Amino acid sequence: MTITATAPRAAAYRGKLRWWTELPLVAVIYALYSAARLMVRGDVDDAVQHGADILHFEQWTHLDPERFFNSLFTHHAFLGVPADFAYASLHYVITPSILVWLWLRRPTHYRVARTWLLTSTLIGLVGFTTVPTAPPRLLPGAHGFFDTMAQYGNYGWWGTDASAPRGLGHLTNQYAAMPSLHVGWSLWCGIILWRYARHRVVRVLGLLYPTVTALVVMGTANHYLMDALAGAATMGVGFLLSKPALRLTDLAVARVLRAFGRTPRVHAESRMVAASTDAVPPAEAAVGEPLGPSAGPSAGHPVGQTAEDGKPAADAPSPATALPTPAPAPASAAAATVPRQVSVPLGRVLPTDDKADPTRFAGGEHAGRTRMS
């Protein structure tokens, strides 16, 4: 017979995340983001000027690799065509795929990762609104950039309007280069894969993905180097704000549910935070030691004495009313009744030859924290 401490199962936690609420949530937020992105196109002249200013700053600091990569992709189709495919598709395929993978395989990390992604996306929208920026391919021809998406358009479904499918260019904002969410989202994907994927090959691909994306967006003349760095910074700020945003969201949802007379659900993250503040963590409680207030005198000690120093306890009955003390048991019997104090960390198994009686944990606060098998 063994006793093991149990942890919340991933499947049980995923059951508390309902897909019919998560899917509309992500879809609605992305739709609002896309609509707002179109509404804040700004003035074209201002966007072109902002793009030229960024390029001049990069040239002044000698951090302007865009023209080199753009020339490379323009003159070599075996580089330009795959880069265009990557720019027009991976952004919209890999990111939602990783969200679904988190939902299915790492559900306890899904809410924080999803909130991080959505928070960063909304921060990027602030950048599009305040600093509309023309990409290098839309700068005047004197700057020497070529639109590889237009050059290799016959190879794919994209047109001359960024990564939008041919004929749907009016549904995209071409002057939203700062920050680059292509780079930002790919960085999110890379970190998630590196952190939670188990296979080394997948983790390495996760590290390569944002690097390749940064080269692609510059080689196709859709972003500047500063755009890529701003996209990475946006994800950093979003990461710092993700947990506060999650707590605020949970508080708002709880208030709405209470207003309708319903009990708010406590997610696993909140339970783990609360458990970390307990005086005695359940996973480290000693076997044979009650987890709650004692219902009677300590084993082997008369009423009115504590187990530590033998002094009368504050709430002990007076000697006149004290209960009669039973006759002391033989030394061998007394030794058999004193349970061993064995610390059982989470997931450890109590040896079968231990003298403690496992049935003593069938009820009380310890119930549900251990399992008999």
Backbone CA torsion sign across 67, 173, 131, 24: negative
DSSP 112: H
Q: What pLDDT does residue 308 have?
A: 44
pLDDT of residue 170: 59
Chain centre distance of CA 42 = 33
Distance CA(220)–CA(148), nearest Å, equals 5
Instruction: Give the pLDDT confidence of 28-65 residue by residue, as tens digits.
Output: 877 877 777 777 666 788 999 999 999 999 999 999 99
| One-letter-per-residue 3-state SS of 170-188 | HHCCCCECCCCHHHHHHHH
- Tell me the backbone φ, ψ of residue 71, rounded to 5 degrees: -65, -40
Residues in the chain with pLDDT values less than 50: 1-9, 12, 14-15, 270-323, 331-339, 342-344, 346-373
How confident is the model at residue 40, as a pLDDT?
Answer: 62
**How far is 160 from 217, CA to CA, in rounded Å?**
15
Question: What does the radius of gyration of the chain's CA atoms come to, in whole angstroms?
Answer: 31
> What mean pLDDT is reported for the chain?
74
* Closest by Cα among 193, 191, 289 to 236: 191
pLDDT of residue 41: 63
> Is 82 within 8 Å of 177 (Cβ atoms)?
no
Residue 195 Cα distances to 101, 206, 245, angstroms:
13, 9, 21
Other CB atoms within 10 Å distance of the CB of residue 206: 22
Tokens of 359: 């049935």
Per-residue pLDDT at 267 = 56
Give me the pLDDT at residue 117, please.
Answer: 95
pLDDT at residue 19, as a whole number: 66
